Structure 1
Amino acid sequence: MIHSTSSIDKSVSWHRFKALLISAGLLSLTFANPVLAQEKMMRTLTVSGRGTEMVATTISQVRLGVEAQGKTANAVQQEVARRSNAVINLLKARQVDKLETTGINLNPSYQYDNGKQTLTGYSASNIVSFRIATEKAGTLLDEAVKAGASRIDGVSFIATDEAIAATQKTALREAIQDAQAQADAVFSALNFTKGQIVSIQVNGASAPPPRPLEDFQNMRASAASKAPSPVIGGEQEVQASVTLQISY
């Protein structure tokens, strides 16, 4: 069979046109896929949940020390050293934890009269900090005063590291449940289908600074009495927050 040149050209042109259409379709799909993928990724809900737990404070963080005044720097320093050694030996005997020196001071004392400065003596102090079970803190403070301590700079209450770590995990679980509950409420209200969690961000799980004991004056006064100084701990708050990104 003999085909004319015109027919062959038309056939070739048609095949080329179909190829161009197919190629254009493929290109169109190629360009559309990233857009669809991006749109799908943008369909997410971001929610943040919080969890709060309380943990018992069973440890007392104590700062106490010795201070003295006298006519000469040498005499004052020797007196502070003598009494400080007695206090530190007591604390070591009671096996307190994290015992360390936090301050040593020696300062001149002056008297001012009609603009004239006169040296009257010296004052010195030696401050230590330590941790002890709160149930033992009152008795130990009384013993420290008898051993030579003359100032109590601070008492604060904290939980053990193990108790805080366990409570942080519980607070984190609460934060996740809170975030998921918020997401469920939103999806239900909008009649959307909840998808997978595509991102998790733990914003933190921490405990605030130790709670201080405020009434030091009463504690100093009771230290001189026969009854043990009352030292009662409380609870420490542990917080956690989590951010979830959920597809739909």
Structure 2
Amino acid sequence: MNRFFQKNLWQGISLVVLSSLILLLGWNGFDRSSTAFAQDSSAPTLTVTGKGSESIETTLTEVRLGVEVEGKTAREVQEESAQRSTAVVELLRSRDVQNLETTGIRLQPQYDYNDGTRRLKGYQAINLVTFRVITEEIGNLLDAAVNVGATRIDSVTFTATDSAIEQAQKQALRTATRNAKAQADAVLETLNLRSQSVINIQIDGANAPVSPRSQSLRTRGDMAASSAPSSPVVGGEQEIEAQVTLQIRY
């Protein structure tokens, strides 16, 4: 009986000691992993911003033009404006321009002011459209539009195709990323340090600003006085810019 009791007693003591050791080792392991995590989260970081740009040819032209008519009566002005505008739109459709859209229609009275009194002198109608066309064709197309009734050209801007802009945006981002990495490597190597990992990335867009090259307002008299057989229009290049910011642990 005593031997049996002693045996059970020692077994119980052994279990208690073993459990205590397991708890102690487990707590120490948890404490070490927590310390390691805390040290990792407080590791030093370097933040750098790289820039990239890409130039692409502008092969498309966006135009805003239309008809401006003045006359004595609203009916007279509206009828002439409609006739001229219809002719301009039919011409543009026959040339297969892109994104043809009416962007403004207005009919309004005009007044003379004399000694504080207002006198109706007539009416003015304006009808504007915008469209996009290949730059090589725009000179002849503008002249043709004037010949069929257009009396004003409000703006001419040049841009690249959507696919060209998309490819340039990607390339600008690649260049900006390489630039940021090169900056970080140069700094860390100088200090005999090594980068460990990139922990944050910020992209400040890849902008594609439209490059305005010509913007004018011409009346019917100005156009009629022009004797040039064709309006020369020359495009240019469009600059795509991007910025990438990297936060690097070292």
Q: 1:138 to 1:223 in 2, by over 3 A?
A: farther
If the length of structure 2 is used for normalisation, what is the TM-score? Answer: 0.85
Please state whether the residue corresponding to 2:92 is helix, strand or coil.
helix
Please give the residue correspondences for 1:34-73 in structure 2 after superposition, counting only pairs within 5 Å: 34-43=34-43, 44-73=45-74
Q: Shift in Å at residue 149 of structure 1? A: 0.5
Alignment root-mean-square deviation, CA: 2.8
Q: Shift in Å at residue 24 of structure 1? A: 4.5
Q: 1:223 to 1:30 in 2, by over 3 A?
A: farther
Distance between the aligned counterparts of 1:203 and 1:111, measured in 2? 53
Letter in 1 for 2:247: Q
Distance between the aligned counterparts of 1:38 and 1:233, measured in 2? 58
Distance between the aligned counterparts of 2:74 and 2:216, measured in 1? 32
If the length of structure 1 is used for normalisation, what is the TM-score? Answer: 0.85
Distance between the aligned counterparts of 1:222 and 1:182, measured in 2? 59
Contact 2:157 2:210 in 1 (8 A): no
The one of 220, 239, 246 aligned to 1:244: 246
Contact 2:135 2:235 in 1 (8 A): yes
Contact 2:46 2:184 in 1 (8 A): yes
Q: Shift in Å at residue 222 of structure 1? A: 9.2
Contact 1:211 1:236 in 2 (8 A): no
Equivalent in the alignment of 2:174: 173
Q: Shift in Å at residue 18 of structure 1? A: 9.2
Equivalent in the alignment of 1:102: 103
Please state whether the residue corresponding to 2:55 is helix, strand or coil.
strand
What is the aligned-residue identity percentage? 47
Give structure 2 stretches of 5+ with no counterpart.
Answer: 3-11
Contact 1:142 1:224 in 2 (8 A): no
Equivalent in the alignment of 1:133: 134
Question: How many corresponding residue pairs?
Answer: 242
Show CA shifts across 1:78-125 (max 9, x none): 000000111111111111110000000101011112111111110001
Distance between the aligned counterparts of 1:221 and 1:148, measured in 2? 11
Distance between the aligned counterparts of 1:18 and 1:196, measured in 2? 42
Give structure 1 stretches of 5+ with no counterpart.
Answer: 3-11
Equivalent in the alignment of 2:145: 144
Show CA shifts across 1:20-44 (max 9, x none): 6774554244234223223223323
Letter in 1 for 2:152: R
Equivalent in the alignment of 2:7: none
Contact 1:108 1:119 in 2 (8 A): yes
